[in-house]
Amino acid sequence: MARSNIVTITVSEKPTAPPPTIGHISLSPSYQLITLYSDFTLNCKVTDVNGNPLSGVRVSLYYIRSDGSLRLTQVRNTDSNGTCKFGYVISSPGVLKFIAKADNVESNTATVEAVSTHDIYLKISPRTVQTYSGEEVTFTVSVKVKGSPAKRGTKVELYKEREHILLKEAYTDSSGNAYITVALPVGEYYVQAYCAGASDIDAIANVYVRD
Amino acid sequence: MSEIIKAIQDFIYWFLQLLGLIPPPSGIYDLTITIDKTEVYVGEPFTVTAKLTLDDKPVANQVIYVFANDIAIGDAKTNSEGIAEITAYLYDPGSYSIYAEAYI
Question: Which among A5, A10, A13 is the nearest to B95, CB-wise?
Answer: A10
Q: Which residues of A touch B35 (CB under 8 A)?
A: 7, 9
Q: What would the CATH number be for the domain defined by A117-210? A: 2.60.40.10
Which of A30-39, A98-107, B20-29, B56-65 has the lowest average pLDDT? B20-29
**Residue range(s) of every CATH 2.60.40.10 domain in chain A:** 117-210
Res A8: pLDDT: 94
Res B23: pLDDT: 63
pLDDT band (50, 70, 90) for residue B47: very high
CB atoms within 10 A of CB A11: 20
B98–A2 C-beta distance less than 8 A: no
Domains and CATH numbers, chain B: 26-102 (2.60.40.10)
Q: Which residues of A touch B97 (CB under 8 A)?
A: 6-8
Task: Quote the CATH superfamily of domain A22-115.
Answer: SOR catalytic domain (2.60.40.730)
Q: Which residues, listed in sequence order, are joined to residue A77 by a DSSP beta bridge?
A: A58
| B48, pLDDT greater than 70 | yes
Nearest CA in chain A to B69: A8
Q: Which residues of B touch A16 (CB under 8 A)?
A: none
DSSP annotation of A119: G
Res A192: pLDDT: 92
**Residue range(s) of every CATH 2.60.40.730 domain in chain A:** 22-115
The average pLDDT across B73-80 equals 93
B33–A10 C-beta distance less than 8 A: no
Q: What is the largest CA-CA distance in chain B?
A: 58
Res A108: pLDDT: 96
Is there a contact between B51 and B59 (Cβ–Cβ < 8 Å)? no
Sign of the dihedral defined by the CA atoms of residues B51, B55, B56, B61, in that order: negative
Nearest CA in chain B to A1: B103
Return the HEC string of chain B.
CHHHHHHHHHHHHHHHHHCCCCCCCCCCEEEEEEECCCEEECCCCEEEEEEEEECCEECCCCEEEEEECCEEEEEEECCCCCEEEEEECCCCCEEEEEEEEECC
Please classify residue A168 by burial: count the beta carbons closer than 10 Å to its beta carbon, then call 0-12 exposed, 13-18 middle and 19+ buried: middle
Q: Pick from A6, A7, A8, A13 the residue to mutate for testing the B interface (most B CBs within 10 Å).
A: A7
Q: For A38, list phi and psi in degrees, rounded to 5.
A: -95, 150
Res B49: pLDDT: 96
Question: Which among B41, B94, B99 is the nearest to A3, CB-wise?
Answer: B99
DSSP annotation of A202: G
Question: Which among B31, B37, B93 is the nearest to A4, CB-wise?
Answer: B31
The average pLDDT across B67-73 equals 92
Q: Does the global pTM surpass 0.95?
A: no
Is there a contact between A156 and A141 (Cβ–Cβ < 8 Å)? yes
Res B19: pLDDT: 75
In angstroms, the CA A43 to CA A28 distance is 5
Q: Which residue has the higher pLDDT, A8 or B11?
A: A8
Torsion, Cα A101 A102 A104 A107, to 10 degrees, reads: -40
ipTM comes to 0.74
Task: Give percent above pLDDT 70 in chain B.
Answer: 90
| B64, pLDDT greater than 70 | yes
Task: With a cut of 50, list the residues of chain A below it in pLDDT.
Answer: none
Res B25: pLDDT: 60
B50–A14 C-beta distance less than 8 A: no
Using a CB–CB cutoff of 8 Å, tell me whether A17 touches chain B. Answer: no
Q: Which residues of B touch A4 (CB under 8 A)?
A: 31-33, 50, 99-101
| B2, pLDDT greater than 70 | no
Q: How far is B75 from chain A (nearest CA, A)?
A: 14
Which of A93-97, B10-14, B99-103 has the lowest average pLDDT? B10-14
Torsion, Cα A125 A130 A135 A139, to 10 degrees, reads: 10
